[in-house]
Structure 1
Amino acid sequence: MGEEQDEQSMKKIAASSYDYENDSRWADYWSNIFIPPHMASRSDVVDHFKRKFYQRYIDPELVVGPMPSSGSSQPARPPPAPSSSSTTGQSQTRSSGSSTRTSGTSPAAAPAAGSSSLRLDRQTVQFSVNTWVFIVAVLAIFPLTPRSLSNKAYRLSFMGTLCSSIYSLYSLYGRPSAWNLQGVQVWFRSIYGTKDFIYLLYCLTFVTSNLHLKFALIPVLCRALEYVAKFLRRNFGRATMYRKYFEEPCLWVESNTTTLSILTSHAQIGMGFLMIISLLSQHRNFLQTIMYWQLLKLMYHAPVTAGYHQSVWTKIGQTIYPLVNRYAPFLNTPLTTAQRWFLR
């Protein structure tokens, strides 16, 4: 029994000293946890979820206790009745002590309230931007939309998602600690491979492109849909209008996030092949095509998207390679070279 306690103590120390900020999985894990803002600002609650994260991804044998409650206040025992000779002195002491306690606790309460309101503001901003992105993207892909309006909506969809990704990265990671090469490198390593950074590069590719492939809006729509559904369920779950019109769609979105991620990965990989085909058109852009395939390579290796992309590429390989071996064996060498570069 004593050895197990010592082992758990060592595991808790290791979990406390783990560098969560430089683990891209922690930011994604924390962003998907919905708890009241007043609890999210408490360090003991954050430490609890860090231990849960450590148990899930690092050491499954770590024992994590229940989440700390909001705290209970026990009434103090009534003091004995003061004598008449010391009433004045004790009342002065109590008044000065209470004023001291009040002045001591007020600064501590103010930052907590400020951080709670700031957290709510971040969620509201993300909800507003992604709702706007969803509406504009639907307008862009709607068949009856005029061509000029559709093209503007197409670019605005990517610009909105780009702004949302930048805002999310700034909210989670802030700015570099120092504006020098080392500080920027440390900051860049913390955001590299995160989902928001991937969407930032994805939107940059198509905002600056002359191609108007509405197929590219599928990942943007899926991302906006997830943000909107989560916000509505969390903040308007008891509203009559939500229960009447939005409850079932939001429930479907939250229960099918894996399906949306698979659809997103299919669309992103499909866009890579469409950009190769576009090299035969007058809107070809070799540089953007190369950059996009570098992004696909990042998606293949990044932890937040690797599972979905690797599954899709496995299916593609199982379909393509038998056909190549049967009808075009001379393509084996270039395909092997491309695969070696992609997996490197």
Structure 2
Amino acid sequence: MGEEREDSQKLKKMAAAAYDYENDPRWADYWSNVLIPPHMASRSDVVDHFKRKFYQRYIDPDLVVEAMSSSTPSASSSTSSSSANESTRARNAGSTTRSSRASAAATSNTTSMRWDRQTIQFSVNAWVFIVAVLAIFPLVTRTLSIRAYRLSFMGTACSALYSLYALYGIPRAWNLQAIQVYFQSIITTKDFIYFIYSLTFVTSHLCLKFALIPILCRALEHVAKFLRRNFNRSTLYRKYLENPCLWVESNTITLSILSSHAEIGVGFLLIISLFSWQRNIIQTFMYWQLLKLMYRAPVTAGYHQSVWAKIGRMVNPFVQQYAPFLNGPVSAIQRWWLR
């Protein structure tokens, strides 16, 4: 029984090693949320370890992933240790069947829980997408449009918060140190960024429908991924939804670039709103702090830094040629931004 289980684990490990991680969009999201030092992220054994954990989580829950060790233990060849191992195997032979049954039951429960989480996320994001489209639809009344606008941000906040809870749980203890460690682990994740993004607008009286673009892109990605994984055999899906979902999954980078442009554009719109009667200084300051976080967070840094580089290439020549007196304020703003 033990040898069969070892052979089964060998086959599962071979399947995990041969799996095409690069073409699975879930792997990119999973790896971007792994917080490890840079010198460890470049090690192949560390990457392989997290690939096996990813394979265990999303593909085959029966795969046993051993703990990552910093050193390789030396082989022992003493007769006493081998005899002790044989006696231990003999004592545990009777409990192998019971443990395998228990693990199978636990696996089925875990799979159903994962399915429930995915279904909940799909339902919330599909609802957010529909409500956000309703908010920007031009023929909708103003009252209904504003209500749909706020509901879309509320739904995104709930979805992001639920995703954070499902992936990271709650702090181990309710003291300052434990909460600080917990926030350090989630502050650079995409779900936390969108949670703060949604809270920034759901509590504001200013209605910027332009801010719905990142919400729509996020909801569209979640809905398309869920439909492709769970309804790819449905006739209705193949007839009407397969091509749109395939386009969304193959253009996630385009959607991320669009979201980053919209997020930065919203920041400038908030600055312009300071000169109107709807100005909100606190909201503007908080949102620009969020933009600084997006500029540094690994999941959004590449897109935001690219957009800011384009803005710099467009603005700097005009400042140098027509308004050189702005060099001082611009330098001060850049120092604050990079601080």
1:273 maps onto 2:294 in alignment: no
TM-score by length of 2: 0.75
TM-aligned CA deviation for residue 37 of structure 1: 5.1
How far apart, in 2, do the equivalents of 1:323 and 1:246 lie? 47
Deviations 1:185-210 (A, max 9, x none): 11111101100010011001000111
Counterpart contact for 1:265–1:309, Cα < 8 Å: yes
* Match among 171, 178, 185 for residue 180 of structure 2: 185
Specify the alignment match of 1:120 in structure 2.
Answer: 115
Equivalent residue for 2:189, pick from 180, 194, 215: 194
Alignment partner of 1:320 is 2:277: no
Query: What corresponds to 1:293 in structure 2?
Result: 288
The TM-score normalised by the length of structure 1 is 0.74
Gaps of 5+ in 2: 1-32, 42-49, 69-91
Q: Cα offset for 1:41? A: 5.8
- Asked whether the 8 Å contact 1:21–1:190 carries over to 2, the reply is no
Instruction: Select the structure of larger CA radius of gyration.
Output: 1
The match for 1:263 is 258
Alignment pair present for 1:332 and 2:331? no
Q: CA deviation at 1:21?
A: 5.6
Alpha-carbon distance, 1:107 to partner: 2.2
Contact 1:161 / 1:203 at 8 angstroms: preserved in 2?
A: yes
Say which SS state the counterpart of residue 39 (structure 1) adopts: coil
Q: After the TM superposition, which residues 19-98 of structure 1 pair with which residues of structure 2 at under 5 Å, given as runs? A: 22-23=35-36, 39-40=60-61, 42-44=63-65
Query: Which residue is 1:157 aligned to?
Result: 152
Identity %: 63
Aligned-residue offset at 1:43: 3.5
Per-residue displacement from partner, 1:259-283 (whole Å, max 9, x unpaired)? 0000000000000000000001111
Residue deviations 1:52-110, cap 9 Å, x none? Answer: xxxxxxxxxxxxxxxxxxxxxxxxxxxxxxxxxxxxxxxxxxxxx99966544332222
Aligned CA distance change for structure 1 residues 186 and 178 (closer, same or farther; 3 Å): same
For 1:227, the equivalent position in structure 2 comes to 222
The separation in 2 between residues aligned to 1:298 and 1:307, in whole angstroms, is 12
Equivalent AA in structure 1 for residue 317 of structure 2: P
Contact 2:160 2:195 in 1 (8 A): yes
SS where residue 193 of structure 1 aligns?
Answer: coil
